[in-house]
Every structure is written in C-alpha cells, then in structure tokens.
Amino acid sequence: MQTSSDIAGRPSILVVDDEQSMLIYTKTLLETSNYSVDTANSGEEALHKVRSRKPDLMLIDMQMPRMNGLETIQACKKLIPDQRIVMVSCVTETQNVVKAMRLGALDYMTKPIYKAELDAVVARCLSMGEEPENDVPVLHFTAVAEREHIDELPESHFFLAVSPAMKQLRAQASIIAKVDVPILILGESGVGKEILARLIHQLSPRAQKPFVKINCAALPAELLESELFGYEAGAFTGAAKSKPGKFELANHGTILLDEIGEMNPLLQAKLLHVLQDGQYSRLGGRQTLRADVRVLAATNIDIEKAISQKTFREDLYYRLNAFTMNVPPLRERREEIPPLLKHLMERFAGKYSQRPLEYSDSLVAACLKYHWPGNLRELGNFVKRFLVLQDERLAISELEKGSQPISIIKPAVINAGEMNRGLKSLVRSSKGETELKAIEEALAATNWNRKMAAARLNISYKALLNKVKEYRLTPPQSK
C-alpha cells in the first residue's frame, strides 16, 4: 500500500481526535516541523483515510465516542500490521497503556502536548524500521554511529539500539517505564536482560531511587528468602542482629529478580503475596512491612514448560506478566556487532589504561560469522581477551574453532585388564569418562557459561553443578 508522503517527500502523519481544537493545535505543531499532516475526528474516519493512503505515522486519541482509541488501533493494525501508531490520552491510564502496547502502539503521550516532546516522539517512531534487517553493516562504524541510539547507564552499563528489534524495545521501555506495573523480561543468558531492566528504571519516575538486583539462582531457598525480606535477630542460628532485605533496601525504587525461574515454588508463594498487597514481614518478625517497589523479573527458562511441570506458579506468572519484553539473542541482531565491538573496545581500553585496538576486516567478518552462544557477555569477554593478548590470529582462530559443533565422542578402547574388572565396573568407568568428556566440551564451547552448557547437555543446571563438583572441574583461568 502506498504511503501518503507528499511530493516534497515529507513524512505523512494522520492525527485522530474528536476534539476539533486539539486537531488544529497538533496539526499546527507538526506542520511547523515540516510534516505533511492530515486529520480525522473519529476512528471510523481514520480507517477510511488509512484504506486510501497509508500514513507514515498515526497519533490516536484514547477517549473518543463510538470507536475509542484502543478499538481504532486494533482495527488499523488488522488492516495494516506494520502501521506506526502513537497513543495520546488526557491521563496516564495503566491498563490502557499496556493494552495499546500489546496491540502494537510504539509510544504514548499525555495531554497537554508540548512541541519538544512531540518532535522527539515523532522522530523516534518514524526512524523505526528504516534499515533493512538483512543489510548488515560490517566495518562502517561512522555510518552506524549516526543511526544508533545509546543510553548511558550507571555502573558502566549502556543500552545500544541499532537493529529494528532493539529500537522497538527501546521505544517500549520509554512507554512502560512511566507505568508502574511489573514487567517480565525474557531472553537467553547474556543477552542484556539486566541492562534493559536498568534502562526501564532510569526512564521511570523512580530513577532517583535505588535499583536493587538479586540473583535468584545464586542462593538456596532459605538464604534467598532472608535476602529478599530480611530477618530479625535470633530468627535462625547465626542471626545475631536484624538485617533489612532487598525489598526494604529498594523502597520507592526498583527491584530486579534475576533468574526468577530458579526460585523455589514455596518462596514464589510469598513473593506473590507481596505483589498482590504490597505487604511482607522479616523472617522471625511480627511486624508487617509495606513494599513500595517496582518489580522487574528476568529469566531465560521456558515459562510455559515450567508452569506445566509445576516448577513455576501460574498465578505468579500472570501477576508478573503485566507486560512481557523479549530480548533477542545477538545472532538475530548481527548488525549490532560492529558498534558493540567499537564501544566495548573504547570502554575496556579506558578501564585498563590502554590504547584501543583497531579491528581488521577479517576479524570483524569472523565476529559476524560466529553464532555467539553467550551473547553480549561472551562478546565482552572476547574483546577483553583481544585487548590484553593483542593477537589477531589467535582471536580469529578462537572464533572459527568455536563455530564448530561439539565433536562426536569416540568410544573408549578397552584393554584386557579393564575387561577383567567385570562388565558393570567397565560400564561405570566408560560412562564416567564419556560423561566427563561431554561436560568438558560443553563448558569449553560456552566459555564456562554453566546454564548454557546444561542446556547443550540437556540436563538441569543443578545436575551440571553437581557433576562439576564431582569431577572437580574448574575454569581454565583458575587452574
């Protein structure tokens, strides 16, 4: 369908509002910024105009008679799935904002509309999806830098958006950050779920308050409960004095429950209670405390599978799932590898007081070809090693070797002495050797990312940790 950009090539915008004064006001603001603007005073009229010529962007008011904003968004998206839409309303209505985003709205604005905010939102939404997804820039760092969006975050973190998928995540974060609802962030290990959580916190009204992270997989259930909710003196052996939990430390701020899929189901029930009524108590305490905390949760597990296996509570999932954000793996946004290499090199060089190294065409090509099972975390470690060792051949060889699948394990050669030990003993020995080799290769292939290695071996994370302990395996650098 043809867009309605005018002869001069100006982007076209359709403003939809039942208030005539608001239509004139918004149209004037946009025309002063050199946009081609059309108006519609109802959802029905908007659909009629969209059918004839697709606008580059639509601004749709939420409160309209007969056909409201949500119904208009839904109808427009059904007609044109990739139609870019911004929702406009007099007030911040949490449920409507979430519904609009689920329907595909790119951004949200509240009235009164100010020109600076309007220009910023329109420019951001019009820029989405401009780069073809298959057009992967290789070495054009300067060209890429002109199109990328970087948010600087505390503790040397940064959120970089170059691909259409990450630009859309950035736009979603800017909307949902303003609405105080729980968010579930999904994605593979190392894709940047924590970075997205930090971005949401920074864009939210709670930005000046604490951001507290806790890894639910790093502690056993008993310790995790005391870490989350705190404890009173004498609550258990060794509790000499009371200690506040993470919910208290994050008061008026944001808490990130990382790897929430690993949380014990019994502890999930207590967390659900906190999310429902905002109340909890310390371990061993009688006083009821209130938690004014924005809850973000992240996991790399298959939630639906975990629910079916009764390892994750369905009611907790629906409580956390006010809005879900999926962070794509690095292999699905390869156009971001060159700018990420550049920014990571600059940051690590500054941190280690070294001059940044240049990447050759061959090295960047190898990086683009590699599948990065460890995602951003693995990419960061690669840049560190390259900066320290300064050996390009070794770096390329490392990538090419990592691109190969795990080798097939050859059957062990059995000698006469081993045969005399008996069949059961022989099978146990052979199984142990085969198991050890498989575990070592899986850990090496994932740069000792134990969660990813467990997935490759098709065993649970806990089972892999037990095997690592049983075979006394340690990462290469600690040997």
Lowest mean per-residue pLDDT among 253-257, 427-431, 435-439, 461-465: 427-431
Predicted confidence (pLDDT) at residue 92 exceeds the cutoff of 80: no
Final residue before a domain boundary, out of 326, 350, 368: 326
Express each pLDDT in 56-74 by its tens digit: 999 999 999 999 999 999 9
Q: Nearest-CA neighbor of 375 among 326, 347, 334?
A: 334
* Residue 112 preceded by cis peptide, ω within 30: yes
**289 secondary structure, DSSP code:** E
Asked if 111 and 172 sit in the same domain, the reply is: no
Asked if 169 and 305 sit in the same domain, the reply is: yes
Q: Which residue has the higher pLDDT, 429 or 386?
A: 386
Asked if 93 and 208 sit in the same domain, the reply is: no
Averaged pLDDT of the chain: 83
Q: 17 CB contacts (<8 Å, ≥6 apart)?
A: 23, 26, 39, 41, 59, 61, 64, 88
Asked if 182 and 317 sit in the same domain, the reply is: yes
Beta bridge partners of 298: 185
Predicted confidence (pLDDT) at residue 232 exceeds the cutoff of 50: yes
Q: Which residue has the higher pLDDT, 154 or 432?
A: 154
Half-sphere exposure of 9 (CA within 13 A, CB side): 0
Predicted confidence (pLDDT) at residue 136 exceeds the cutoff of 70: no
pLDDT of residue 472: 80
- Cα–Cα distance, 346 to 227 (Å, whole number): 36
Question: Where is mean pLDDT largest: 96-105, 373-382, 402-411?
Answer: 373-382
Q: Is 159 a domain residue?
A: no
- Cα–Cα distance, 338 to 139 (Å, whole number): 7
Tokens 């929430």 locate to: 260
pLDDT of residue 137: 37
pLDDT of residue 77: 93
Q: Is 115 a domain residue?
A: yes
Beta bridge partners of 12: 36
| Residue 322 φ/ψ region, left for φ over 0, alpha for ψ in the -120 to 50 degree band, beta for the rest | alpha
Residues 18 and 65 sit within 8 Å (Cβ to Cβ): yes
Residues 263 and 271 sit within 8 Å (Cβ to Cβ): yes
What is the DSSP secondary-structure string of 229-285?
Answer: H-B-TTSSTT--S-B--HHHHTTTSEEEEETGGGS-HHHHHHHHHHHHHSEE--BT-
Q: Is 371 a domain residue?
A: no
Q: Is 253 a domain residue?
A: yes
For helices 43-52 and 69-79, angle between their N-to-C axes, nearest 10 degrees: 20
> Which pLDDT band holds residue 479 (cuts at 50, 70, 90)?
very low
Spell out a b/e string for 443-469, using b for 16 or more CB atoms within 10 Å of the CB, else e: bebbbbbbbbbbbbbebebeebeebbe
pLDDT of residue 45: 95
Angle at 246 between CA 245 and CA 247, to 5 degrees: 90
Final residue before a domain boundary, out of 326, 359, 385: 326
Structure tokens, 200:
């949401």
> Which pLDDT band holds residue 266 (cuts at 50, 70, 90)?
confident
pLDDT of residue 448: 82
Beta bridge partners of 183: 296, 323
Predicted confidence (pLDDT) at residue 97 exceeds the cutoff of 90: no
Asked if 91 and 170 sit in the same domain, the reply is: no
pLDDT of residue 138: 37
Asked if 314 and 440 sit in the same domain, the reply is: no
Residues 313 and 269 sit within 8 Å (Cβ to Cβ): yes
Q: Is 5 a domain residue?
A: no
pLDDT of residue 16: 96
Q: Any idea what the CATH number is for the domain that residue 197 is in?
A: 3.40.50.300
Which element (helix H / strand E) includes 183?
strand 183-186
- Cα–Cα distance, 35 to 293 (Å, whole number): 41
Express each pLDDT in 306-330 by its tens digit: 899 999 999 999 888 888 899 999 9
Percentage helix, strand, coil for the chain under 3-state DSSP, each rounded to 5: 50, 15, 40
Q: Which residue has the higher pLDDT, 256 or 162?
A: 256
Q: Nearest-CA neighbor of 355 among 345, 364, 363?
A: 345
Asked if 82 and 218 sit in the same domain, the reply is: no
**Mean local confidence (pLDDT), 382-405:** 84
pLDDT of residue 455: 73
Lowest mean per-residue pLDDT among 163-172, 293-302, 388-397, 470-479: 470-479
Which element (helix H / strand E) includes 164?
helix 164-176
> Which pLDDT band holds residue 78 (cuts at 50, 70, 90)?
very high
**Total residue count of the chain as it appears in this document:** 479
- Cα–Cα distance, 129 to 171 (Å, whole number): 12
**Mean local confidence (pLDDT), 119-146:** 55
* Segments forming the whole domain that contains residue 272: 164-326
> Which pLDDT band holds residue 468 (cuts at 50, 70, 90)?
confident
Asked if 121 and 175 sit in the same domain, the reply is: no
Q: Any idea what the CATH number is for the domain that residue 449 is in?
A: 1.10.10
pLDDT of residue 147: 47
What is the DSSP secondary-structure string of 62-130?
Answer: S--SSS-HHHHHHHHHHH-TT--EEEEESS--HHHHHHHHHHT--EEEESSP-HHHHHHHHHHHHHTT-
Asked if 105 and 18 sit in the same domain, the reply is: yes
With H, G, I as helix, E, B as strand and everything else as coil, classify residue 325. Answer: strand
Express each pLDDT in 408-460 by its tens digit: 334 444 444 444 445 445 445 545 667 787 888 788 777 787 877 777 776 77
Residues 16 and 58 sit within 8 Å (Cβ to Cβ): yes
pLDDT of residue 7: 54
pLDDT of residue 357: 93
Q: Is 307 a domain residue?
A: yes
Final residue before a domain boundary, out of 100, 127, 154: 127
**Mean local confidence (pLDDT), 223-231:** 90
Q: Nearest-CA neighbor of 85 among 111, 109, 113?
A: 109
Asked if 190 and 297 sit in the same domain, the reply is: yes
With H, G, I as helix, E, B as strand and everything else as coil, classify residue 399. Answer: helix
Q: Is 385 a domain residue?
A: no
Which element (helix H / strand E) includes 423?
helix 423-445
Q: Any idea what the CATH number is for the domain that residue 41 is in?
A: 3.40.50.2300
pLDDT of residue 250: 94
Asked if 300 and 178 sit in the same domain, the reply is: yes
Lowest mean per-residue pLDDT among 1-10, 184-193, 381-390, 454-463: 1-10
Asked if 116 and 171 sit in the same domain, the reply is: no
> Which pLDDT band holds residue 376 (cuts at 50, 70, 90)?
very high
> Which pTM value belongs to this model?
0.66
- Cα–Cα distance, 478 to 472 (Å, whole number): 12
Q: 123 CB contacts (<8 Å, ≥6 apart)?
A: none
| Number of domains present in the structure of the chain | 3
Residues 445 and 406 sit within 8 Å (Cβ to Cβ): yes
**Mean local confidence (pLDDT), 97-111:** 85
Predicted confidence (pLDDT) at residue 85 exceeds the cutoff of 90: yes
